[in-house]
Amino acid sequence: MLTTLLRPFISLALLFSMATSAFAGELNVSAASSLTNAFKDIAQSYQHQYPGTKLQLNFAASGALLQQLVKGAPVDVLATADQDTMDAAEKQDLILIKERKDFVRNSLVLIQPMNATIKIARLEDLQQGAVKRIAIGNPASVPVGRYAQLALQAARVLPSIEGKLINTVNVRQALDYVARDEVEAGFVYASDAALMLDKVKVAAQIKIDKTITYPVAVTKDSNNQIEAKRFAQFLASPTAQAIFRKYGFKPL
């Protein structure tokens, strides 16, 4: 008799347990290097809100992340620093097109070491003889490098400074080079410069024709697409957006 009375409640409990387990598990998130600090904080907030989930974060240049995905790396969520890389992932049928969305913006800046004595206020100033090394993300795989290259081409200074450019594997390496005073200048995102205002200074805000927006998408081969969709949606939440603002990103 007692078992009969409890049967509906037992069924409801089982359904709730099944629904919860559908979300729970490990989620592999590959994100652009410039998202490192923000995503670490967001991951903590997400796991606090959804304690059944463990996020594994992988950071690299967007182009490198794409190559990892192409080669079969286990990735549930892909977040890049540009649209071109995500377009390439879409063309190769690696992501769910309907689950692709933009979640934050950024801007391009030219930075110098904090104690630099060389005055740089515009791109043309990079042609000075005193400027011998300029850190720039490798345009072949690093979005910030492509943005910088576009700006240099538009200003018609690229040919005259090409020999000064030091390619980096990601934006954080360019930031480190400037912070350690190993180069006279470097191109990074505003959010990266904000992390080391005690070691670098913004010499110029660089305008480009493209808006720097970050897209996120759920991968087609994800083993946990339900959870992946929920995390991607979480990036647009007030909690996540507040964290992005904290680290110098801009809202859409």
Handedness of CA 30, 31, 33, 36 (dihedral sign): negative
Lookup: tokens for 192: 């990266």
The whole-angstrom separation of Cα 93 and Cα 103 is 21
50 is in an annotated binding site: no
216 is in an annotated binding site: no
144 is in an annotated binding site: no
142 is in an annotated binding site: no
Annotated binding site: 34, 62, 171, 189
Annotated binding site for molybdate: 34, 62, 171, 189
